[in-house]
Amino acid sequence: ITKRNNSKKPDPISHNDNFIYINTYEDELSKEKNIVLQSYDEYKKYFDTKILEEKDFKSNNYVIVPISFDSCSDENIVPTDYKIDNNNITINISYTATCGVCKASYIYYLLKVDKELKEVNLSLNYKQRNTIKCNTDISYKPIIYLYPTSTINITIKFNKPENLITTYPKYIDKWEVSAEPNGKLIDIKTNRELYSLYWEGNNHQGTITNEGFIVKGEDTIPFLESHLKYLGLTEREADEFIIYWLPKLESNKYNYIHFETTEEINSYMPLDISPLPDTIIRINMNYKPLEEPIEVKEQILSTPKREGFTLVEWGGSLIE
Neighbours of 175 (CB within 10 A): 25
Dump the DSSP string for 74-127. EEEEEEEEEEEETTEEEEEEEEEE-S-----EEEEEEEEEETT----EEEEEEE
Peptide bond into 169 cis (omega under 30): yes
* Interval 25-78: pLDDT, tens: 545 565 567 899 999 999 988 887 788 999 999 999 999 988 876 655 555 678
Mean pLDDT of 297-302: 94
pLDDT above 60 for 3: no
What pLDDT is recorded for position 4?
A: 35
Contact partners, residue 51, CB within 8 Å, separation at least 6: 20, 22
- pLDDT band of residue 99 (cuts 50, 70, 90) is low
Rounded to whole angstroms, the Cα distance separating 245 from 139 reads 13
pLDDT of residue 76: 67
* pTM of the shown model: 0.60
Number of Cβ within a 10 Å radius of residue 172 = 9
DSSP conformational letter for 227: H
Kindly tell me if the per-residue pLDDT of 7 is higher than 60.
no
Q: Where does residue 315 fall: left (phi above 0), alpha (psi -120 to 50 degrees), or beta otherwise? A: beta
Count CA atoms closer than 13 A to 134's CA, side-chain side.
28
How confident is the model at residue 5, as a pLDDT?
Answer: 37
DSSP helix/strand/coil, 243: helix
Q: 3 vs 289, which has greater pLDDT?
A: 289
pLDDT band, very low/low/confident/very high, at 266 (cuts 50, 70, 90): confident
CA distance 124 to 69: 12
138 versus 59: which is more confidently predicted? Answer: 59
Question: Tell me, what's the pLDDT at 9?
Answer: 40
pLDDT of residue 168: 92
Mind listing the pLDDT tens digit for each residue in 150-209?
Answer: 999 999 999 888 888 889 999 999 999 999 999 999 999 999 999 999 998 875 566 788
| Spatial contact of 129 and 72, defined as CB atoms under 8 Å apart | no
With a CB cutoff of 8 Å and minimum separation 6, the contacts of 285 are 245, 257, 258, 259, 260, 314, 315, 316, 317
How many CB atoms lie under 10 A from the CB of residue 182?
A: 8
> For residue 306, is pLDDT > 80?
yes
Q: Report the pLDDT averaged over residues 18-27.
A: 70
**Alpha carbon distance 155, 140 (integer Å):** 22
Burial of 229 (0-12, 13-18, 19+ CB in 10 A): middle
* 3-state secondary structure at position 236: helix
Three-class DSSP category at 197:
strand
Can you give the length of the chain in residues?
320
Instruction: Kindly report, residue by residue over 208-261, the tens digit of the pLDDT.
Output: 888 999 999 999 999 999 999 999 999 999 999 999 899 889 989 999 999 998
For residue 95, the model assigns a pLDDT of 74
